[in-house]
C-alpha cells in the first residue's frame, strides 16, 4: 500500500521536474503528455487505493515512509494516512487535475510558456496530493505551502503584467498571514502532545482539555486556542472573510488554474484541514461558533459582491468564496461530512463553470467583460449546455449534485445545536437566492440576449476543451445522488470524520430515505423556492436587454458603491495594514537605526567614523596594509604582554 501511495504522489512530481528542467529543450507535446500521463497514473493509483481500502474493510492505514528529522517519536516524518477522507480527496484532486491538464492543452496552445505551465500544474498536483494524504502535520504543512507556492507562480504566470505580479504577491502574503496562525496552532499541539503524527494527536484529542499548559494565556482553553489558530490558517487558504481578498485578484492567472487551484482543490485545503481535525474541533465550542459566523457571513456578503461583477471570471471567483463560506458554516455546525460533501460536488461544478468561462474567453479572444458578450448560446452549444448544468448545480436545482450537498448542508446546519446555528441557517438560506441570482445573471448576460460584440468570428472551442467540460457536466449532474450516502452516512467515512455530537448530522441521518426521497422532499423546501426566485429575478432583469439590469442597479446606488468595493476589505488591507507596515519600516530605519543607534547611542561613532574615514581615504588604500600588520603585531604583543604579566 505504501507503493500505491507513492504511485499517487510521485508521477506528477517527476512530470513537473522533467518539464521544468528540460521543457525549453524538448518538443512541445512532450510537456503535456508527461503531465497527462502523470496524473492518469495518480488517478489510477488512487482508484486502486480505494479498492485496496475496500478489500481490507476500510481499515485505515497509517504508513510512515521516512523520518524527516529529530526524534522519531515527534512525528516529523513523511508518510501517508489512507482512510475514506484522504482517498476521497485524492480521487477528486487527481481527477480534476487530469481534466484540467487535458483542457490546458487547448487553452494554453499558443502560450510561449507552455512547458513551464505544465511543470507548474504537475507540481501543484504533487503538493496537493501530499497535503491530503499526509499522516502528520509537518507534511500537511509542506503540501499546504507547496500549493501556495505554485499558486503564487501561476497567478504571476504572465509575469510581465503588473496586475498579475501584484496579485500573486498579495496572494502569498495574505496566505502567510494565515500560515502565521497555522504554525502557532501546530506549535500548541506539538507542545502539548510532543508529536505531530495524526494518530496520536487525534487519538487523544480530548486530552488537551485536561492538560495544564503554563505557557498558554488563560483567556481561553488550550483546545480553543489550538482550534482557533488552525482555523485562522484555514481561513486564508479557503478565502474566508477577511482573509479572502487575495482570491478575486488571483484571477490574473490562466483560467485552467482558476479552475484547478482557486476553485476545486487548493482553496478547499482549509475545509479538509478542519475535517481532518474534527475530533479536536468538537472539543472547542467557541471556535465552532466562530466558524459558523465567519462561514455564514462569507457566504452571504461575498455572494452579494458577485452580483455586481462584470468580469466573468470574477463572478465565478466570488461565487467560489461564497460556496467556501457554506462549507465553513457546515464545519462550524459540526456537520463536517456535509462540508466535505459540498466540497466534492463543488469541485465538480465549480471547475466546470471556470473551464466553461475559459472556453468563452478563448472564443471571445480574451475578452472577459460580460457586458461585451451576449447571445453566445447558438455559437457555442456545448459550452452553453455544460455551463448551464454547472449553473443549475451551483444554484442547487433539485436532482443536480449541488442540490444534494447544499440542501443537506443547510438542513444539517439548521438542526445543529452549536450556538448560532439557527441564525447561520437563515443566512445560508437567503444566500441561496443570491447564488441563483448572480449565477443566472452571468448565464443570461453571456449566453442569452443579442450579441453585444462582433459575433462573426466566435465559434465553439476544440474537443480538447469541450471534452473535459462534458465529463465535468456529467459529474455535476450525477455525483450528488451517488455520493450522498457514501460521504454523509457511511461508516468508513465516519471512521475518518467521527459523527459529531452536535446533532446536525444525526438529524440528517435519521431523516434520510435515499436520494430519490431527498429530491422529492426538497422540491417543496424553502431553499428550492428561493433558488427559483433567484433564477426568475435574474431572468427579469438580465434575460432580455441588459439595460434593465443597469436600471435596477442605479436604483441602489449606495449598495452598488459598497459592493463594487467589495465591502472595503481590500482598501482596509492595502491602505491601512500595508501602508502602516511601510511607514513603520521607514520610521524604524531612519528614525531609530540611523538617527538613534548610529548617531546617538554609540556616542556619535558614525559621525566620528565618517570624519576619520575622510582623513584616512586621503592616505591611499596602502594604509590598510600597514593597518593590518599593526593589528597582527598588536595582537601578538598583547598576548605576550598579558602572558608575561601572569608569569611574573
Partner 1 sequence: MLSEAPLLSLLIWLPIAGGLLVLWMRDQEAAAERIALIITVAGFLISLYLWAGFDPNQTQLQWVESVAWIESLHIYYALGIDGIALPLIVLTTFMTIPVVILTPSSVSQQQSFYLSAFLIMEGLMIGVFSATDAVLFYVFWEAMLIPMFLIIGIWGGANRIYATIKFFLYTFLGSVLMLAVIIYLYWRSGEFSIWAWHGMHLSAKEQWWIFMAFWAAFAVKIPMWPVHTWLPDAHVEAPTGGSIILAAIMLKLGAYGFLRFTLPIVPDAAVALHGLMIGLSLAAIVYIGFVALMQEDMKKLVAYSSIAHMGIVTLGIFLPFSMATLGVGVDQEGVLLAVQGSIVQMISHGLVSGALFACIGVLYDRMHTRQISEYGGIATSMPMFAAFLVFFAMANIGLPGTSGFVGEFAVILAAMHANFWVALLAATTLVLAASYTLWMVKRVAYGPVKRPAIAMLADLSWREGLVLTMLAIPVLILGIWPAPLLQVTEPAVHTLLEPIFGL
Residues in 211-240 that interact with partner 1 by CB under 8 A? 214-217, 225
Using the rule CB under 8 A, give the single segment among 382-390, 477-485, 545-553, 616-624 that binds partner 1.
616-624
Using the rule CB under 8 A, give the single segment among 53-61, 406-414, 428-436, 584-592 that binds partner 1.
584-592
Contacts of 571 (CB under 8 A, 6+ apart): 565
The x, y and z cell numbers of residue 166, run together, are 501584484
Q: Which of 571, 612, 633, 637 binds partner 1 (CB under 8 A)?
A: 612
Question: Among residues 206, 151, 138, 144, which one has the least CA distance to residue 178?
Answer: 144
Q: Which CB, 68 or 569, lies closer to partner 1? A: 68
Could you give the CA distance from residue 293 to residue 422 in angstroms, rounded to a whole number?
A: 11
Q: Which CB, 423 or 588, lies closer to partner 1? A: 588
Could you give the CA distance from residue 147 to residue 122 in angstroms, rounded to a whole number?
A: 11
Q: Is 604 in the site for partner 1 (CB under 8 A)?
A: no
Answer for the pair 403, 542: CB distance below 8 angstroms, yes or no: no
Q: Is 593 in the site for partner 1 (CB under 8 A)?
A: yes
Q: Which of 187, 523, 540, 559 binds partner 1 (CB under 8 A)?
A: 187
Residue 17: other Cβ atoms inside 10 A: 15
Using the rule CB under 8 A, give the single segment among 180-188, 395-403, 424-432, 477-485 that binds partner 1.
180-188
Question: Among residues 267, 285, 374, which one has the least CA distance to residue 326?
Answer: 267
Could you give the CA distance from residue 291 to residue 296 in angstroms, rounded to a whole number?
A: 8
Q: Is 559 in the site for partner 1 (CB under 8 A)?
A: no
Q: How far is the CB of 149 from partner 1 (least distance, A)?
A: 6
The x, y and z cell numbers of residue 410, run together, are 443547510
The x, y and z cell numbers of residue 320, run together, are 467560489
Using the rule CB under 8 A, give the single segment among 400-408, 422-430, 495-503, 615-623 that binds partner 1.
615-623
DSSP, residue by residue, 228-242: HHHHHHHHHHTT-TT
Q: Which of 3, 556, 561, 589 binds partner 1 (CB under 8 A)?
A: 589
Q: Is 176 in the site for partner 1 (CB under 8 A)?
A: yes
Q: Which of 211, 523, 574, 613 binds partner 1 (CB under 8 A)?
A: 613
* Measured CA distances, 433 to 20, 494, 646 (Å): 45, 32, 91
* Measured CA distances, 445 to 22, 240, 263, 373, 448 (Å): 43, 28, 22, 7, 6
Q: How far is the CB of 79 from partner 1 (least distance, A)?
A: 14
Q: How far is the CB of 606 from partner 1 (least distance, A)?
A: 7
Q: Which CB, 88 or 125, lies closer to partner 1? A: 125
Query: Of 156-175, which residues contact partner 1 (CB under 8 A)?
Result: 156, 159-162, 165-166, 169, 172-173
Q: Which of 129, 153, 197, 484 binds partner 1 (CB under 8 A)?
A: 153
Could you give the CA distance from residue 352 to residue 100 in angstroms, rounded to a whole number?
A: 10
Q: Which of 310, 491, 595, 617 binds partner 1 (CB under 8 A)?
A: 617
Query: Of 114-143, which residues contact partner 1 (CB under 8 A)?
Result: 138, 141-142
Q: Is 610 in the site for partner 1 (CB under 8 A)?
A: yes
Q: How far is the CB of 616 from partner 1 (least distance, A)?
A: 5
Query: Of 29-88, which residues contact partner 1 (CB under 8 A)?
Result: 66-71, 74
Answer for the pair 432, 350: CB distance below 8 angstroms, yes or no: no
The x, y and z cell numbers of residue 249, run together, are 485578484
Total residues interacting with partner 1, rule: CB under 8 A: 77
Q: How far is the CB of 597 from partner 1 (least distance, A)?
A: 5
Q: With b meaning 16 or more CB within 10 Å and e meaning fewer, what string describes 202-232? A: beebeebeeeeeeebeeeebbbbbbbbbbbb
Contacts of 257 (CB under 8 A, 6+ apart): 121, 151, 154, 155, 157
Could you give the CA distance from residue 411 to residue 494 in angstroms, rounded to a whole number?
A: 19
Q: Which CB, 143 or 402, lies closer to partner 1? A: 143
Q: Which CB, 66 or 524, lies closer to partner 1? A: 66
Q: Which CB, 147 or 488, lies closer to partner 1? A: 147
* Measured CA distances, 332 to 412, 424, 464, 630 (Å): 11, 10, 40, 72
Q: Which of 3, 28, 54, 194 binds partner 1 (CB under 8 A)?
A: 194
Amino acid at each position: 500500500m505504501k507503493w500505491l501511495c507513492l504511485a499517487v504522489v510521485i508521477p506528477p512530481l517527476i512530470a513537473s521536474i522533467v518539464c521544468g528542467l528540460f521543457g525549453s529543450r524538448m518538443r512541445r507535446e512532450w510537456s503535456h503528455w508527461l503531465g497527462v500521463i502523470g496524473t492518469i497514473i495518480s488517478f489510477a493509483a488512487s482508484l486502486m487505493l480505494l479498492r485496496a481500502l475496500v478489500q481490507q474493510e476500510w481499515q485505515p492505514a497509517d504508513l510512515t515512509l521516512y523520518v524527516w528529522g529529530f526524534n522519531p517519536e515527534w512525528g516529523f516524518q513523511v508518510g501517508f494516512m489512507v482512510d475514506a477522507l484522504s482517498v476521497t480527496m485524492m480521487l477528486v484532486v487527481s481527477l480534476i487535475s487530469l481534466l484540467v491538464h487535458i483542457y490546458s492543452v487547448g487553452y494554453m496552445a499558443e502560450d510561449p510558456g507552455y512547458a513551464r505551465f505544465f511543470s507548474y500544474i504537475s507540481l501543484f498536483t504533487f503538493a496537493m496530493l501530499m497535503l491530503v494524504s499526509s499522516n502528520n502535520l509537518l507534511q500537511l504543512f509542506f503540501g499546504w505551502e507547496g500549493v501556495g507556492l505554485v499558486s503564487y507562480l501561476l497567478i504571476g504566470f504572465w509575469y510581465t503584467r503588473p496586475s498579475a505580479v501584484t496579485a500573486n504577491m498579495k496572494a502569498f502574503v495574505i496566505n502567510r498571514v494565515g500560515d502565521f496562525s497555522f504554525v502557532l496552532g501546530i506549535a500548541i499541539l506539538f507542545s502539548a502532545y510532543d508529536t505531530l503524527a495524526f494518530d496520536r494527536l487525534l487519538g487523544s484529542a480530548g486530552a488537551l482539555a485536561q492538560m495544564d499548559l503554563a505557557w498558554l494565556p488563560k483567556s481561553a482553553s488550550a483546545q480553543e486556542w489550538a482550534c482557533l489558530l488552525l482555523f485562522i490558517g484555514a481561513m486564508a487558504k479557503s478565502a474566508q472573510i477577511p482573509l479572502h481578498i487575495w482570491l478575486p485578484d488571483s484571477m490574473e492567472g490562466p483560467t485552467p488554474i482558476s479552475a484547478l487551484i482557486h476553485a476545486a482543490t487548493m482553496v478547499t485545503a482549509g475545509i479538509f484541514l478542519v475535517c481532518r481535525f474534527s475530533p479536536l474541533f468538537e472539543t472547542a465550542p467557541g471556535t465552532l461558533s466562530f466558524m459558523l459566523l465567519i462561514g455564514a457571513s462569507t457566504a452571504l456578503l461575498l455572494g452579494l459582491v458577485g452580483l455586481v461583477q462584470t468580469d466573468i471570471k470574477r463572478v465565478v471567483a466570488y461565487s467560489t468564496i461564497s460556496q467556501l463560506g457554506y462549507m465553513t458554516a457546515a464545519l462550524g455546525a459540526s456537520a463536517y461530512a456535509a462540508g466535505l460533501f459540498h466540497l466534492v460536488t463543488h469541485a465538480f461544478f465549480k471547475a466546470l463553470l471556470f473551464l466553461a468561462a475559459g472556453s468563452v474567453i478563448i472564443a471571445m479572444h480574451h475578452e472577459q467583460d460580460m457586458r461585451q458578450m451576449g447571445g453566445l448560446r447558438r455559437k457555442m452549444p456545448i459550452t452553453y449546455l455544460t455551463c448551464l448544468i454547472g449553473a443549475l448545480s451551483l444554484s442547487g436545482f433539485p436532482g443536480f449534485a449541488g442540490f444534494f450537498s447544499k440542501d443537506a448542508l443547510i438542513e444539517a446546519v439548521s438542526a445543529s445545536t452549536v450556538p448560532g446555528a439557527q441564525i447561520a441557517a437563515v443566512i445560508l438560506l437567503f444566500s441561496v437566492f443570491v447564488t441563483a441570482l448572480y449565477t443566472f445573471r452571468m448565464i443570461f448576460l453571456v449566453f442569452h440576449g443579442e450579441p453585444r460584440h462582433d459575433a462573426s468570428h466566435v465559434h465553439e472551442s476544440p474537443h480538447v476543451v469541450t471534452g473535459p467540460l462534458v465529463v465535468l457536466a456529467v459529474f455535476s449532474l450525477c455525483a450528488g445522488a451517488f455520493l450522498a450516502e457514501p460521504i454523509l452516512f457511511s461508516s468508513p467515512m465516519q471512521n475518518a470524520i467521527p459523527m459529531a455530537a452536535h446533532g446536525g448530522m444525526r438529524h440528517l441521518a435519521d431523516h434520510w430515505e435515499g436520494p430519490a426521497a431527498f429530491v422529492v422532499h426538497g422540491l417543496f423546501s424553502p431553499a428550492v423556492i428561493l433558488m427559483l426566485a433567484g433564477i426568475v429575478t435574474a431572468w427579469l432583469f438580465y434575460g432580455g436587454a441588459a439595460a434593465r439590469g443597469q436600471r435596477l442597479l442605479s436604483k441602489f446606488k449606495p449598495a452598488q458603491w459598497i459592493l463594487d468595493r467589495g465591502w472595503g476589505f481590500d482598501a482596509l488591507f492595502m491602505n491601512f495594514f500595508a501602508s502602516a507596515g511601510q511607514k513603520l519600516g521607514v520610521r524604524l530605519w531612519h528614525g531609530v537605526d540611523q538617527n538613534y543607534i548610529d548617531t546617538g547611542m554609540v556616542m556619535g561613532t558614525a559621525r566620528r567614523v565618517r570624519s576619520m574615514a575622510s582623513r584616512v581615504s586621503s592616505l591611499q588604500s596602502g594604509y590598510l596594509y600597514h593597518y593590518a600588520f599593526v593589528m597582527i603585531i598588536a595582537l601578538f604583543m598583547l598576548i605576550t604582554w598579558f602572558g608575561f604579566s601572569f608569569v611574573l
